[in-house]
Amino acid sequence: LSKWNAAKKDDLEFTLYRMVCRNEISPAEAQHEMATN
């Protein structure tokens, strides 16, 4: 059973979005994190 649910994925997605906007990670890195979590 996955520990990830929709709410946690939404939180992760928003956190990654903010990190991309602040140039802390690349869009490709954010996509990879979403695809592998």
Reported as a pLDDT band with limits 50, 70 and 90, residue 17 is very high
Give the pLDDT of residue 1. Answer: 57
Confidence of residue 2 (pLDDT cuts 50, 70, 90): low
* Average pLDDT value over all residues in the chain: 92
Question: What pLDDT is recorded for position 3?
Answer: 80
- Tell me which amino acid residue 9 is: K
Q: CB neighbours of 30 closer than 8 A, spacing ≥ 6?
A: 16, 17, 19, 20
pLDDT given for residue 33 in this prediction: 92
pLDDT at 37 over 60: yes
Q: How many Å apart are CA 5 and CA 29, to the nearest integer?
A: 21
